Amino acid sequence: MTVDTEVVAEKKNKASSESTGRESPAQTEYTQFSTRYDSDTSAIWCWMHPEPQPCLNATLLDEVVRLQYQLTSTYRTQHPDTTWPFRHLILASKIPGIYSLGGDLNLFKDCIIHKDRTRLKDYAYKCINLVHSNINNLDLPITTVSLVQGQALGGGFETALSSDIIIAERSSQLGFPEILFNLFPGMGAYNLLTRRVGSALAERIILSGKTYTAGELYDMGIIDVLAEDGAGEQATENYMKSHNQSHNTIRSIKKIRQIVHPITRQTLYDIVDIWIEAAMDLSPKDLSKMERLLHLQKDMKDSKTIKEQNDSLTPRRGDWRKITDVTFPLTTHLGESVTHNRRKNDGRRRS
């Protein structure tokens, strides 16, 4: 990978952009991600680096959708005899230890407090447009790939799931924390997980609020390629090179998948409408929990911090009772002295 899209070979872009009269993707400047072209694997890499937080902000959504449109409009109208300029579109992240921390919680909270359904719906529909376009390979004969190197939470996990192939480094962690503030992932998670592992397991993953390791998700069949830490890019290149000869078969399988397990844009809109109504019904207590996650989203700069903070938020029913590392006597909030762990009394009735 040594060639930027700004210097993609003239033979592969000039003719198509002139024939369509549209702006070439190489002529557009992006602020939330950068692109690179790799001629060896016929791949366009999209490296996300959203600011100020590593989440799916509205600007990032707009820019990625614009890239998708430009690639589609530029290449779909090429002459049949033209050599196809790229076969893979890879979504990755430039932020160490973080793929994406999901939706814009600051926007969510503001819209909910002010009951601004219109603004929230506009944001949510942008997410759906990005995800659905990725699901359908931009209506181009390409394979979409997500390279996860670090945390992919909420909408970040949904974005990864929307790709044909998910490649993740072993230490990466992925999950849906929305249930922690009484919501659910509404931008395709249920559909995309069900397509991969069935509805029962999809619901279990969504309702758990758990952050799963890449290894766990690989064993479930959700992640396609498990790479060692630091070897994600090489694993992605190896995958593309090994499957280039089977490109025609892979395209056919994807068409069959859409027939057997269709995911329509309208279905995604219908689900996100339910998500919007659920969001508007969140209580002050729920918003307080969202606020905690929002602060974490702002402060998380590395995968270790994210894991520690996520672990501290994950609900564990009854864990407060499991006192194993304290010294007695203790003093209660009423000033009473506790001389031993009364939970260990075998004579107590067990519920």
Task: Kindly write down the DSSP assignment for every residue of 186-241, as one continuous string.
Answer: -SSHHHHHHHHH-HHHHHHHHHH-PEEEHHHHHHHTS-SEEE-TT-HHHHHHHHHH
Residue 117 near residue 99 (C-beta atoms within 8 A)? no
Distance (Å, whole) CA 247 – CA 240? 9
Sorted by sequence, the CB contacts under 8 Å of residue 101 that are 6+ apart come out as: 53, 54, 55, 151, 153, 154, 156, 297, 300, 306
Domain residues of the chain, as ranges?
Answer: 3-284
Over pLDDT 70: what percentage of the chain?
75
Output the pLDDT for position 339. Answer: 53
Q: 3-284 has which fold? A: 2-enoyl-CoA Hydratase; Chain A, domain 1 (3.90.226)
Residue 345 neighbours by CB distance under 10 Å = 8
Q: What is the pLDDT of residues 125-147, one digit of tens each?
A: 999 999 999 999 999 989 999 99
Q: What is the pLDDT of residues 238-282, one digit of tens each?
A: 999 998 778 778 878 888 988 999 999 999 999 999 999 999 999
pTM of structure: 0.79
Output the pLDDT for position 255. Answer: 85
Residue 329: cis peptide before it, omega within 30 degrees of 0: yes
